[in-house]
Amino acid sequence: MTIMTQVKDIQDGSVPFPITDPERIPVQRYYDETFYKAETERLWPHVWQMACRLEQIPNAGDWIEYKILEKSIIIMHAAKGIKAFHNACRHRGVPITEGKAHGSCENEGFTCPFHGWRWNIEGQNTFVYGKQKFSERQLDKADLALKTCRVEIWGACAFINLDDNAPSLLDSIGPLAQRLEAHGLSNLRAEWCYATTLPANWKIAMEAFMEGYHVMKTHPQLQRTLPGLYNSMYAFNMQDTGGVGLPTNPYLTGRENVKAQVKHLELLSEGMAGMVHAKEIEIAKELLEVELPEDPMLAVQTWYGIFQDQITKRLSAKGEPVPDLNAVAVSDPIHAVEFIFPHYFLLPMFTSMSAYRIRPLGPESCYFEIWSLTPSAPGQEPPVVMAPIELPYDSKDFPAIPQQDYSNIPIQQKGVHAQGFEFMRLAENVEGLISNYERIIDGYLGGVDAQKLAKAQHLLGGNFDGKIVDLGF
């Protein structure tokens, strides 16, 4: 039965271009100025946003700037933990970071470049030049302190929320938070980060990673290596790929299947790095000749069990803080792509992960960052990545898989303007994540109760390649 959008809690007329059929997303949501303005006013000020990685601010006095739309937030390692401040001098509003993106100021604190007022790392004002010129009420200590922004910690990252009354970060993420932590999320460190500006709406960019249905055409190297895997998930039958991809070969032996699996993992590693790390590929290649059952499917299952056990043992022996992969696969199952509303993705496979963060720059422009995250033995962590390597979106220096995705996203943005194209047509059983998160956006724009919205976000965990669901509002 088709699930219709529940509109009883949304104020009539408050959502421009609302979703009334969850399988059809109105196309104006991807370029219309009115819709974009509604997002800037009613969505982004009320949601948890990944602001920085904790290794970027390891010591007291370390800080880094996070920007969203016209807002600038300073994430500060204060004396007793992480704080966040709105980046504006309390005198005349000048940003106090002097145009820098990060730094350290344990002793001197911040000095406004305009009139020289100063604040310490706790956000307290420590100096007003010529304070005798001001009335007493203008010098109130509490009033002069930097305005704090809400900040909470999870997954080795600091998240900010501009809304002091929003549900907590963990209340918003839900059970997925614990499942990802069981897979060692907080033990990961960034080894590199790339970024680009895409000529596309931020939701167009995000939705490219909410289903694997695009793999056969967009990432043909993956489908052609394991056609059986992708055809079993998306094809009408195991043989019909419309002449685009390869049909499934039902005659592969167990050993041949395992070799194809390893080749597929190699391609993911070359294309993504964090999702399958090179150190895991080295282990996989050493296990190609292990004894396996003759049954092809059982051979693959057995091999993965051996492979995950060896990753756990070998990396642990090197001092890397990794989980027991076979154990957490049972106790805390996760998907190959997990989405943290509204703009953060984690792509876990074994012990490492890739991460994406997408931020709007305008109705048809967004900033896209991609990280490779991996565990390391103490003292062997990679150098801290303070800023991404910025590249043009069509650069050949990106890893292979993002290159392929970035080739589609800008042209899709052009396509949404085509005459007669009215809405995105979604497959209810495989593109449900797109519908589900878009309807949560409608909830924010329409003023749905914050607790209901937080509870609805729980349904996004494990929803990659998933179904359209009832969000409860």
Q: List, for residues 78-89, the tens digit of each pLDDT value.
A: 998 999 999 999
Which burial class, exposed, middle or buried, applies to 266 when counting CB atoms under 10 A from its CB (0-12, 13-18, 19+)?
middle
- CATH topology agreement for domains 1-48+171-209+334-473 and 53-154: no
Rounded Cα distance, 403 and 414, in Å: 18
> Would you tell me which CATH number, out of the four given (2.102.10.10, 3.90.550.10, 3.40.50.460, 3.50.50.60), belongs to the domain 53-154?
2.102.10.10
Q: Region 361-383: what's the mean pLDDT?
A: 97
In this prediction, residue 60 has a pLDDT band, given cuts at 50, 70 and 90, of: very high
Residues 13, 35: contact at Cβ < 8 Å?
no
pLDDT (0 to 100) of residue 237: 87
Tokens at 357, concatenated: 């963060």
Which burial class, exposed, middle or buried, applies to 419 when counting CB atoms under 10 A from its CB (0-12, 13-18, 19+)?
exposed
| Residue found under tokens 């991460």 | 355
What does the buried/exposed string (b/e) look like for 191-210 if buried means 16 or more CB atoms within 10 Å of the residue's CB?
Answer: bbbbbbebbbbbbbbbbbbb
Nearest residue to 365 (alpha-carbon basis) of 203, 201, 243, 123: 201
Domain spans, the chain: 1-48+171-209+334-473, 53-154, 215-331
| Residue found under tokens 């209901």 | 452
Model confidence, pTM: 0.95
In this prediction, residue 2 has a pLDDT band, given cuts at 50, 70 and 90, of: very low
Asked whether the bond before 342 is cis by omega within 30 degrees of 0, the reply is yes
Q: Region 178-194: what's the mean pLDDT?
A: 98
Nearest residue to 165 (alpha-carbon basis) of 271, 65, 257, 46: 46
> β-strands 188-198, 389-390: how paired?
parallel
> Would you tell me which CATH number, out of the four given (1.10.3470, 1.10.10, 3.30.450, 3.90.380), belongs to the domain 1-48+171-209+334-473?
3.90.380
Residues 15, 448: contact at Cβ < 8 Å?
no
Rounded Cα distance, 43 and 84, in Å: 20
pLDDT digits (tens, 9 = 90+) for 298-315: 999 999 999 999 999 999
| Residue found under tokens 């070969």 | 249
Average pLDDT, whole number, for the chain?
A: 95
